[in-house]
Amino acid sequence: MTFETIALFALTEFLLSLTPGPAVLLVIGLSMRQGCRIGFMATLGILSTNAVFFTLSALGVGALIPASATLFTILKWVGAATSRHWRRCQSGASSRH
């Protein structure tokens, strides 16, 4: 990959990350309900996750997933486990309030 290709990719991803979307609504909602600190933490989480995804995408990892049924299945199970874990954490937190 040439430097120009990487620079164009980085610029495109940067511009796309500036456009509002569901993440903006999440940060605004959290900030309004729970304060600026929580909104800022959500922003840091979103930006760090985007950086990981952009890096993996630039490295071509996305092309491996459709090529490997096993890898795709593993990713689905990891996603399901993560989702279940977060639901348990949220239900535990809400029962304490």
Q: What's the token pair of residue 93?
A: 């937190």
34: pLDDT confidence band, cut at 50, 70 and 90?
A: very high
Report pLDDT digits (tens) over 49-75. Answer: 888 888 888 888 878 878 888 988 998
| Cα 29 from Cα 81, distance rounded (Å) | 26
Is the pLDDT assigned to residue 7 strictly greater than 60? yes
Sequence ranges of the domains in the chain: 1-59, 64-97
